[in-house]
Amino acid sequence: MPIRKIGIVSRTYRHINRYRQILTVLIKYGFDDLVDRLRIGHYLEIGLDLLTRKNHERVDRLTTPERIRKIAEELGPTFIKLGQVLSTRPDLIPADLVDELVKLQQDVPPFPFKQVREIVESQLERPLEEVFEQFEEQSLAAGSIGQVHRARLRNGDEVVVKVKRPRIDEIVEVDLEILLDLATLLEKHVEEARIHRPTRIVEEFTRVIERELDFTTEAAHLERFAALFQSDRTLYVPKVYHDTTGPRVLTMEYVPGTPAGDVEALQAAGLDPKRIAARGAQLVLKQVFVHGFFHADPHPGNVFVLPGEVICLLDFGMVGRIDRRGREHFADLLLAFSARDALRVTGALARLTERDEDVELDHERLERDVAEFIDIHLVTELGRLGMGKLLRGILDLLSRHRLRIPAEMVSMLRTLATVEALAVRLDPKLDMIAATEPYVRRLKFDRLKPTRVWRDVVDSGSELLHLAREIPGGLRDLMGQAKRGKLKIGFEHRGLESLIDTNERIANRVSFAIVCAALIVGSSLIVLSGIPPLWGEMPIIGVAGFVTAGVMGFLLLLSIIRHGRM
């Protein structure tokens, strides 16, 4: 699903109604100051000044995170899914907003069964009754992308069928293009938003939602997990039925189980919560540190427990991947924190993080802040702090230094923190960080094995040899371009956006004023000449010119006052 920047024509004919709806909801929930700062009225004339702002009194009682959540709920599937994705990115948004957006996981209204039938029959190219012996009309669960129904195949197998929402691809495509447009405006006009690079967030979100919109991708994730944990009897992955699966419909085995977050139900079923907590922690650590491929949305609604304390994971739409180097950098960070060595922690963070080209890392200041963090939070064992608090502390620290953790690393940390929260609910004494220690030390020792050291040396030597071979050719190309006079050096101008915008605004106002002056002068000549038609003794055309000039002058004055500049 390629998203493109919105042009004048596409904005007018394809996006205008949805754009108006989005801006109306933003204003309704008290974000009219943000709409003004985006300067959308300069090129999107949809009568924003006429949108009602009388609902502010009703939303003033809500906190800002609550208002953002309600905006997502009111704007529908794309924005709900964006909120859900952002709730897994505490590196980008404040903790109180993360806590509020987590609530978007629930209470998504289902769509009618008539549409479910149409979508399933269209995907499978057969009548529903020909494929399923039974198909329940009431949905088991509904999400922003699709909803789930229980059914029975003709061969008697009990299954669940996940069906994509109708027209969701078209809705998402338009919403993503509008989001990209808004993100571009944020970067251009709202200076404090540039550090978070909104356009990059939208592009990342686009990749996430594209994968979730194709159910064959989720089916592939299910089968990969099943293959990775084939010999592990503590995890059960539902079977996929390929004959009744496609981009819009996913059919998989129905697995009856007990929700992992319901301690009383687990105990009533004769299951041991402490054993479940320990197994769950081990499973996620194997996914991250052994396979580098993990379930990225393990909230309680996606984790069930089967007899024998076997854990069953559901909803594989969101998965994470982390390469060997990322796992090793994270292991270095945990070992440095365990040793309370501020210098090693600083080095590990520098290797782990990314930063913009204009950001120069102050190692000494970062080391001082790390030492202060260790003194305050690591007075006792690291496990007492917990994975969740450690994650938030690291992200706050990095934010002050304008450093970013790669998205896949944040996804991994968030997954570990989510599993820790669930496991501690089942066993308050469980130490997630202590459970990671064997995996971390194994990664450390693996790097010291002679075969690994030799492989790294060979790889580095191959890269150097390849670079040495490329250098003469590159120099020859540069010299050839210089001889032909085609060598080009590019310069990037920064900080001129506000100046250009100001000049454009000045030019527009001067043009507006010239037109007003011309109308006044022209209307005066018509009045003095007494050119008919007349109204009494006054020429009607001249009077109309004066009225038009007056309205335009008033609008110009209103625009100047609204932007706070006379």
pLDDT, tens digit (0-9, with 9 covering 90-100), for 273-306? 899 999 988 999 999 988 989 998 887 778 899 9
Rounded to whole angstroms, the Cα distance separating 279 from 271 reads 13
Q: What is the mean pLDDT of residues 68-96?
A: 79
pLDDT at residue 123, rounded to an integer: 93
Residue % of the chain over a pLDDT of 70: 83
Identify the H or E element spanning 81: helix 77-86
Catalytic member of 214, 297, 315, 431? 297
pLDDT at residue 108, rounded to an integer: 66
Q: Is 358 one of the catalytic residues?
A: no
Residue 339 has pLDDT above 70, yes or no: yes
- Report the SS3 class of residue 132: strand
| pLDDT tens-digit map of 89-136 | 666 677 778 778 877 755 567 889 999 999 999 999 999 999 999 999
CB distance 263 to 274 below 8 Å: no
Lowest-confidence segment of 95-109, 225-239, 279-293, 421-435 by average pLDDT: 95-109
Rounded to whole angstroms, the Cα distance separating 277 from 282 reads 9
Write b or e for each residue in 305-318: b if 16 or more Cβ atoms lie within 10 A of its Cβ, otherwise e.
bbeebbbbbbbbbb
pLDDT at residue 7, rounded to an integer: 44
Residue 492 has pLDDT above 70, yes or no: no
Lowest-confidence segment of 207-216, 386-395, 487-496 by average pLDDT: 487-496
When comparing pLDDT for 552 and 54, which is higher? Answer: 552
pLDDT at residue 10, rounded to an integer: 47
Lowest-confidence segment of 95-99, 291-295, 325-329, 458-462 by average pLDDT: 458-462
Rounded to whole angstroms, the Cα distance separating 242 from 16 reads 40
| pLDDT tens-digit map of 17-72 | 788 888 888 888 888 778 777 777 554 444 444 444 555 546 667 888 888 888 88
533 preceded by cis ω (within 30°)? yes
DSSP 8-state code for residue 142: E
Rounded to whole angstroms, the Cα distance separating 459 from 452 reads 10
Domain extents in the chain:
8-105+174-209, 256-447, 448-478, 503-562
Long-range CB pairs of 10-13, under 8 A, 24+ apart, other chains included: 10/177, 11/44, 11/181
Exposed / middle / buried, residue 204 (Cβ in 10 Å: 0-12, 13-18, 19+): middle
pLDDT at residue 453, rounded to an integer: 62
Whether the predicted model's global pTM rises above the 0.75 cut? no
When comparing pLDDT for 266 and 473, which is higher? Answer: 266
| pLDDT tens-digit map of 468-477 | 777 787 777 7
pLDDT at residue 49, rounded to an integer: 47
Where would I find the beta strands (DSSP E) of 378-459?
A: none
